[in-house]
Structure 1
Amino acid sequence: MLASWKAEGAIRAPRLFALASIPADWRAAANPASELNLLPLLVKRGETALDVGANRGLFTYWLLRLGVRVTAFEPNPDMVRVLSYRFGRALKEGRLTLCGYALGDAEDEAVLHIPHDHAPLATLDGALTGLDEAVRDVRVHRRRLDDCVDGPVDFIKIDVEGHEAKVLDGAGRLLAAHRPTLLVEAEERHRPGALASLRERLEPLGYEGFFALADGMHPVVTFDPAIHQRLDALNAEGTAARAPFGYVNNFVFTARAQQRADLAGWTPGSVSLRTAA
């Protein structure tokens, strides 16, 4: 019911949906287990960030509050309208650039699958595990990140429902030239070997990966999907963990020594995004 209301709101009342997103963003940041609270360690005021898979603008909102210049990529036309309403001032001031297309490893057309009752969720790869419902297909343009961003880029957040490896494949020049810090969602249920595919692309470039648990940061070499991505740790809809850190799907990759040290000292609650912003 709630998911259906959100979907209808995004499609039929994008202005209201945009307004309702603001308190939701603050609630999300209030959760010490949220990956949002890592942002002050990963990107600094005046730097440049890419929000790949911006959705309703949760990360874009907080990155802008941190004083970061943002380029947001979102192929779902419903969410593009929401983002346009939410961030009209930032767009006019040049602090935000909004790109209404998908990213991948080639320039072509792709089909975006949008679940009817989960309009904010969408995928290019049909990875709709746990969403047993009809979908709406929309043809979207897809580009390579190397072809649309010159850099420098300091931070990239990627949440593209199983399409993350292809996004990286289209960003080889940017990654090699600028070594931006990455926060990437990756799940075995969307694509088997998802984390391994990220590591094989990033570690040769000098990146080291981490993930968060209740006792702090852990290196990705210790990640075990049988332990850290158990499907029974998710809610009935398959959209959220039942308990903090019960299901791990966000990974930080950094090539910066100071960030590695900062992450090593991180524990839940030690950094507050709401205070930093």
Structure 2
Amino acid sequence: MLEALKAQMEARTPRLFGLVAGLFNRAAARNSAEPANLLPFLVTPGDRACDIGANNGLFTFWMLRLGVQVEAFEPNPRLARVLDLRFAAARRAGRFRLFACALSDGTGPATLHVPRGLSPLASIDGDFVAHSTAPVDHVTIARRTLDDCIEGRVDFLKIDVEGHEAKVLAGASRLLAESRPTLLVEAEERHHAGAVTALEGLLAPLGYEGFFCADGAVQPLARFDPALHQRPGALNAQGTRVQPGATYVNNFVFIARADRKARFMAWRPGPWLARGRGNSAAD
């Protein structure tokens, strides 16, 4: 019911949906398990970041509050409109820029597959949405590479693209080599078997170390076990939420800079954004 209501608001009242999203973003920060609570350990004021798969703007919202300049990428036209309205003040201040396109390893038109009522699961990866139990809408969108879109230094990339993460990184080879940004990447074996291993194989030659958070501390990627950390039964039927009391690890941090690694290794669980560590700048 809630997902259906959100879908209607996205389409019919984007400005109102943006206001409601802000309330949900603040509420999410009170949950220690919310991945956005990693941000105070991944970025610093004055950083430049890319929010790839921005959706309704959760990460953009909190990064702006942490004093970070944000370049957001969102291929869903409805959600891009929400972001444009929601962060208009930050855009006018030169702190926010929106790219209404999908990122990949090439350019040209693409088809975005959007499960009806489940827009966070939208993807240009047809294999992934083929397993959707919901009706799927198909939208023609623009496809670009990160290297084509961004010039200059970038400090942080957040990537949530429902199975397309390896191709996004393939289209960012110049940026990765020149800037060595910290990465927060969502990757799941249910999208592509061996997804996490593939990311490590792509990034390790560039000097990146991989980590995830579990058992109250930062863990090296070598300890990740899909059978333990990504059990399908840990998710609800739609695959959008972790069941109460279950463990499901799908966010991975890759770091290539020693100073950023030292900062991240200090992480411990907590609602850091809600405690005021996400208020260094006005959104």
Shared fold, TM over 0.5: yes
- Mapped pair 1:265 → 2:266: yes
Secondary structure of the residue that 1:71 maps to in structure 2? strand
Corresponding letter in the other structure for 1:38: L
Aligned partners of 1:117 and 1:130: how far apart in 2? 15
Q: Deviations over 1:58-106 (max 9, x none)?
A: 0000000011000000010010111011111111111100000111001
Question: Paired residue for 2:95?
Answer: 95
Question: Paired residue for 2:49?
Answer: 49
- Mapped pair 1:224 → 2:196: no
Aligned partners of 2:130 and 2:6: how far apart in 1? 19
Q: Deviations over 1:195-245 (max 9, x none)?
A: 111111111111111111132111111101111000001122211111467
Higher relative contact order (CA closer than 8 Å, sequence separation 6+): 2
Q: Deviations over 1:17-66 (max 9, x none)?
A: 11100110011111111211111111110110000000000000000001
- Unpaired segments ≥5 residues, structure 2: 279-283
Corresponding letter in the other structure for 1:185: E
Relative to structure 1, the CA distance from residue 176 to residue 207 in structure 2 (aligned partners, 3 Å threshold; closer, same or farther) is same
Aligned partners of 2:176 and 2:47: how far apart in 1? 16
Corresponding letter in the other structure for 2:31: N
Question: Paired residue for 2:7?
Answer: 7
Q: CA deviation at 1:263?
A: 2.9
Does structure 2 retain, via aligned residues, the 8 Å contact 1:110–1:140? yes
Q: CA deviation at 1:176?
A: 0.6
Question: Paired residue for 1:154?
Answer: 155
Question: Paired residue for 1:188?
Answer: 189
Aligned partners of 2:70 and 2:263: how far apart in 1? 23
Corresponding letter in the other structure for 1:55: N
Corresponding letter in the other structure for 2:25: D
Question: Paired residue for 2:140?
Answer: 139
- Unpaired segments ≥5 residues, structure 1: none
Displaced runs of 4 or more, over 6 A: none
Q: CA deviation at 1:259?
A: 2.8
Does structure 2 retain, via aligned residues, the 8 Å contact 1:130–1:237? no
Relative to structure 1, the CA distance from residue 79 to residue 50 in structure 2 (aligned partners, 3 Å threshold; closer, same or farther) is same
What TM-score comes out, normalization by structure 2 length?
A: 0.94
Within 5 Å, give how 1:74-113 maps onto structure 2. Answer: 74-113=74-113
Question: Paired residue for 1:34?
Answer: 34
Relative to structure 1, the CA distance from residue 155 to residue 188 in structure 2 (aligned partners, 3 Å threshold; closer, same or farther) is same
Q: Deviations over 1:166-197 (max 9, x none)?
A: 00000001001110000000001111111111
Does structure 2 retain, via aligned residues, the 8 Å contact 1:229–1:248? yes
Aligned partners of 1:188 and 1:163: how far apart in 2? 12
Aligned partners of 1:211 and 1:130: how far apart in 2? 27
Does structure 1 retain, via aligned residues, the 8 Å contact 2:153–2:179? yes
Matched positions, count: 276
Relative to structure 1, the CA distance from residue 57 to residue 244 in structure 2 (aligned partners, 3 Å threshold; closer, same or farther) is farther
Aligned partners of 2:220 and 2:119: how far apart in 1? 34
Does structure 2 retain, via aligned residues, the 8 Å contact 1:214–1:245? no
What TM-score comes out, normalization by structure 1 length?
A: 0.96
Does structure 1 retain, via aligned residues, the 8 Å contact 2:41–2:267? no
Question: Paired residue for 1:123?
Answer: 123
Aligned partners of 1:198 and 1:216: how far apart in 2? 21
Aligned partners of 2:120 and 2:231: how far apart in 1? 24
Does structure 2 retain, via aligned residues, the 8 Å contact 1:214–1:268? no
Question: Paired residue for 1:206?
Answer: 207
Secondary structure of the residue that 2:67 maps to in structure 1? coil
